[in-house]
Structure 1
Amino acid sequence: MNLFSDIRGLVLDALTQMQTEGALPEGLSFDNVAVEPPRDAAHGDMATNAAMVLAKPAKMKPRDIAETLAAKLAEDDRITSAEVAGPGFLNLRLAPSVWQGVLGAVLEKGTDYGRSTMGQGLKVNVEYVSANPTGPLHVGHTRGAVFGDALASLLAYSGHDVTREYYINDGGAQVDVLARSAYERYREANGLSPEIAEGLYPGDYLIPIGEALKEKYGDSLLDKPESEWLAEVREFATDAMMDLIRADLKALGVEMDVFFSEKSLYGTGKIEAALEALNEKGLIYEGVLEPPKGKKPEDWEPREQTLFRSTAHGDDVDRPVKKSDGSWTYFAPDIAYHYDKVTRGFDALIDVFGADHGGYVKRMKAAVSALSDGKVPLDIKLTQLVKLWKNGEPFKMSKRAGNFVTLRDVVDQVGPDVTRFVMLTRKNDAPLDFDFDKVLEQSRENPVFYVQYAHARVMSVLRRAAEAGIDATDETLRGADLAALDHPAELTVARKLAEWPRLVEIAARTNEPHRIAFYLYELAGDFHALWNRGNDEPALRFLQDGDVATSQSKIALARAVSVVISAGLGILGVTPAQEMR
């Protein structure tokens, strides 16, 4: 049930009737007619822009359209008033029975209330995290992991067929650096002093890998030249790092469907096939690029390279795919990887990148556009930096220095639920402050606590009802007399619950899971306000002494709140609290 869609349908029926009666010209498009919450709740329950968007094509005054439309809508029992405002906006007020019906729908459908078929089964690939397998995940990766995972869940909830994917960057020079770093820890495990040269990874996380290498190889690699041990140590260390990364993701509640290895693209003809697909479209050529911005001609040597004509698909400059020495650029395997996604039959692709990949967006979109002939959209979401604070002091991280704060550090201190929710309290492209002290505060200023407290309060109501001998099972509550819920504070909560299906569709359409967290905070606020009013107004309390029927009606409202909070937290990957401790 999407009440906003239902009322929009009512508006469209009225407009069609106006056309039949000659009050509105035929042949108008109603695609841009919207029904949404008013900017100011004092103006009504819903508002429609119908008259404003139809006035110009109808060659009529918007207010004339609005007044006729208002009269039509007022004939429906669900509409208690339809008021024209300003030049032609139409504000609607709905009967209490409408909001009571929303509660019935929530109780009937449970956490499927708000679940949508909007996606129509479209196959969507969401690639996220994809950190280099050279160390544990840090807090920046954590934000991308949470964002991508919540987005995947949101899309699945809205009817998409979602694949969650991790791209293992195990084909570049960084895994050779990992191998050399692990080898030094292997030497250390054999009683030698490690030589952590500039550019190697100095982190202590490599010590167990060095010990594992010793356990497997003994001292047999010590006297061998690098050419004889590099490949074996690289594979061993990469596998160990990926085991660590998988364990970190699991601790955060993230599980991937696919781990795709960059290494699988090399020597298999996949890179060549992707570039040949572009070549057949006339998009590959030999040429010389202009000097990069900031480079003086004398500092730059022009070299002929193999280039992708990415400017034909919206990029700023054409991009090299093969260097003058015949080796691939970093971009070439990325093109091949996305070509693989396209050939796997996905209808849409989403990449979640870190803040430092902003310059990669246009070229990657150009590649996918070219490879799919514009048929497969690619949306790239950038997650901005996370600043860590504790005791009023900033935490700093540096992967190479070995003193970074890991994903596991954060999860171990505050738990996966708090970590996930906090990471979604800002839009992905906005910087985020993560204060270890504040995220554990029990106050309204802490959105994690505020939302969880609302759910826990409902659970306490259900427990108290059971202790009082009141049947508050879901089956019984579905039969409660919801018409008894007519107080403005109660209807305010019902109105917020009515927004949930619409909110889900908007969040899914824009690929913005933070909207779910924002909505839950607002819903919790309305519920807490109702709870607090009950302290002063006994008639608003959820348990009414000696009146089982009224108690069940009010408990039904509380239960509906917990159902939607549970559904929302489920999308975010957070477990609803049963009680606060």
Structure 2
Amino acid sequence: MNVFADFENRVKQAVQPLVPAGEEIDLSRVTVEPPRDAAHGDLATNAAMVLAKPFGMKPRDLAEKIAAALGADPDVATVAIAGPGFINMTLSPAFWTAHLATLLHAGLDYGRGAPTGRKVNVEYVSANPTGPMHVGHTRGAVVGDVIARLLAFAGDDVTREYYINDAGEQVGVLARSVFLRYREALGEAIGEIPAGLYPGDYLKPVGEALAAEFGDTLVGKDEAEWLPIVKDRAIDAMMAMIRSDLKALGVEHEVFFSERTLHAEDGGRIAEAIADLRDKGFVYQGTLPPPKGQLPEDWEDREQTLLRSTEVGDDQDRPLVKSNGAYTYFAADVAYFRDKYERGFSEMIYVLGADHGGYVKRLEAVARAISGGAARADCVLCQLVKLYRDGEPVKMSKRSGDFVTLAEVVEEVGRDPVRFMMLYRKSDAPLDFDFKKVTEQSKDNPVFYVQYAHARSAAIFRQAREAGIATPAYGKVDVAALEGLADVGEVGLLRKLSEFPRLIGQAAEAKEPHRLAFYLNDLAAAFHAQYNRGKDLPELRFVNQAEPELSVARLGLVKAVATVLHVGLDLIGADAPDEMR
């Protein structure tokens, strides 16, 4: 149950009788949130502040009327008006006991949303298939994967998709690089790798596989003959490598979409998409003025086929077909979005590197043009990751030659620290990743701190079993057994736990998975603090043989903390350990 959504409805119900007969007042701006200062209560609402003008009243006068109605609610212990008209509520102990029981009945489904019926496509990583994943791809992979997990948990029907950029010139460069390694595998001395080709040793096994399959039969052929063969083998090998790297990170996609499928001799689906947009009045023949600053590669001072994207929110019209008849990269993006829309998706999320910021408006415009507003594109940008080892920059890789690979990072520190720490900053902010710090066993290392909280809860359950005190089980919770949680730290934990369903909804809607990482760290801090209070004050310990009934209630609270930590870590893609070694 979302406590905040529940009380938002209660506040609106309290306001409704105050509306003059025959009038309608918009209540959509009314919110209920945690107060900034926990000393002010459990919940705060802005109702009087946002409704004062429509009601023609002073905010504080309206607040007094709303507060009087809320004070009659049996779940509200006290109501107070703060400042110019904010309303703070403190909930009754009985409400918190009932909510704890609800949480324990829900178990690992606590915070899960009801099915929305909305189909969402999350495309992320989508690196060029020219080599192993590097640390820059790692952040986008984790961010995209956790966004997909959050949306699915919130109730959406989510498809995780990888767009294989296998139609551009970079694939030709890859094939020529592999062909050089093929000749090397046949015994030829190739010398230094020429500029413009990929030098990494990761291509040696691909060349060796070609030599095993074809012998020296490709050597005497013209490039036009061997290039398509080598391209196919090289792309397959790179995608196998990429899938393996992603799997080590705990990332899997349901769909791998090949850009080449959009192309055909007659234009394929790109031509179909342009024809569709032409019929809708969005495609025309014209010229573009030169943009300010550096000219983009696809700009031409000639008549081209253009998308009238300024009519749907873009800051300039975009070329689809160059004057020589070749499609632009953007044309493939248009056809790809149309393909997703025809597959029934109403929201297409693109997780992109920060250098793709210029794509945001054009993709949003494409969505409006193709769907007529029925579907939308939502872009999430990921800033760069800087690697450090004990404060010193890390730049080079033995495997790739010029960058640190995803596999190397995961192998050194483990999947869980990588996934958690890639979320420990908002995605559009730069991130520093220190190999030493993310493996430290200290409260300054968030992933250790959160996982240790779950392990500590398991240790408390073991202690309870040794003392002969049973922990409340999912689905078999006696509400009466949970009464007695009155300490300020215990109530603080109940408040923090109640924020979880709201947090899930907000993080999913905003596509901001860092909120989940921050929340888990805050919950772990509150739990550790209460545990430590019990060291100084034995009467506050979670397990106290002198008070078995109160211990059962406190064990129910610990069970709730462990549940939310487990669910949250699972959404991040990390383990919730019962022991830390």
Counterpart residue number, 2:199: 202
Counterpart residue number, 1:248: 245
Counterpart residue number, 1:35: 32
How far did 1:401 drift?
7.3
| Distance change >3 Å, CA 455–CA 477, structure 1 → 2 | farther
Q: Tell whether the 8 Å contact from 1:201 to 1:400 is kept in structure 2 after alignment.
A: no
What SS does the aligned partner of 1:102 have? helix
Q: Give the letter aligned to residue 251 of structure 2.
A: V
Matches within 5 A, 1:336-485: 336-396=335-395, 402-472=401-471, 474-475=473-474, 478-479=477-478, 481-485=481-485
Matches within 5 A, 1:134-533: 134-194=130-190, 196-267=193-264, 269-294=268-293, 302-396=301-395, 402-472=401-471, 474-475=473-474, 478-479=477-478, 481-533=481-533
Q: How many residues align?
A: 574
Q: Give the letter aligned to residue 208 of structure 2.
A: E
Q: Tell whether the 8 Å contact from 1:310 to 1:366 is kept in structure 2 after alignment.
A: yes
How far did 1:241 drift?
0.3
> 1:489-525: CA deviations, max 9, x gaps?
1110011001111111111121111111111111111
Q: Tell whether the 8 Å contact from 1:355 to 1:384 is kept in structure 2 after alignment.
A: yes
Residues in 2 aligned to 1:293 and 1:248: alpha-carbon distance in whole angstroms? 40
Residues in 2 aligned to 1:328 and 1:276: alpha-carbon distance in whole angstroms? 13
Q: Unaligned regions of 5+ residues in structure 1, if any?
A: none
Q: Which of 102, 106, 112 is residue 103 of structure 2 equivalent to?
A: 106
How far did 1:392 drift?
2.0
> 1:213-267: CA deviations, max 9, x gaps?
1111111111222111000000000000001111111111111110000011111
- Residue 86 in 1 paired to residue 90 in 2? no
What SS does the aligned partner of 1:422 have? helix
Residues in 2 aligned to 1:446 and 1:532: alpha-carbon distance in whole angstroms? 18
Residues in 1 aligned to 2:418 and 2:275: alpha-carbon distance in whole angstroms? 44
Matches within 5 A, 1:529-568: 529-568=529-568
| Distance change >3 Å, CA 169–CA 304, structure 1 → 2 | same
Query: Once superposed, what is the RMSD of the aligned Cα atoms?
Result: 1.8
What SS does the aligned partner of 1:481 have? helix
Residues in 1 aligned to 2:202 and 2:322: alpha-carbon distance in whole angstroms? 35
Runs of 4 or more consecutive aligned structure 1 residues displaced over 3 Å after TM superposition: 397-401
| Distance change >3 Å, CA 260–CA 476, structure 1 → 2 | closer
Counterpart residue number, 1:59: 56
Residues in 2 aligned to 1:400 and 1:161: alpha-carbon distance in whole angstroms? 38
> 1:47-97: CA deviations, max 9, x gaps?
111111111111111111111111111122211111111111111111122
Farther off after superposition, 140-149 or 306-315: 306-315
Q: Give the letter aligned to residue 175 of structure 1.
A: V
| Distance change >3 Å, CA 455–CA 512, structure 1 → 2 | same
Q: Tell whether the 8 Å contact from 1:200 to 1:400 is kept in structure 2 after alignment.
A: no
Q: Tell whether the 8 Å contact from 2:30 to 2:50 is kept in structure 1 after alignment.
A: yes
Q: Tell whether the 8 Å contact from 1:154 to 1:508 is kept in structure 2 after alignment.
A: yes
Q: Tell whether the 8 Å contact from 1:99 to 1:498 is kept in structure 2 after alignment.
A: no
Identity level (%): 56
| Distance change >3 Å, CA 323–CA 575, structure 1 → 2 | same
Q: Give the letter aligned to residue 163 of structure 2.
A: Y
How far did 1:294 drift?
2.7
Q: Tell whether the 8 Å contact from 1:274 to 1:336 is kept in structure 2 after alignment.
A: yes
Counterpart residue number, 2:124: 128
What SS does the aligned partner of 1:220 have? coil
> 1:445-500: CA deviations, max 9, x gaps?
11101111110100111122223333225159722621121111111001100111
What SS does the aligned partner of 1:134 have? coil
Residues in 2 aligned to 1:399 and 1:106: alpha-carbon distance in whole angstroms? 49
How far did 1:301 drift?
6.8
Counterpart residue number, 1:3: 3
> 1:399-431: CA deviations, max 9, x gaps?
997321111011101111111100111111111
What SS does the aligned partner of 1:474 have? coil
Q: Give the letter aligned to residue 526 of structure 1.
A: A
TM, length-normalised to structure 2: 0.96
Residues in 2 aligned to 1:303 and 1:398: alpha-carbon distance in whole angstroms? 45
Residues in 1 aligned to 2:543 and 2:179: alpha-carbon distance in whole angstroms? 67
Residues in 2 aligned to 1:285 and 1:557: alpha-carbon distance in whole angstroms? 64
Q: Unaligned regions of 5+ residues in structure 2, if any?
A: none
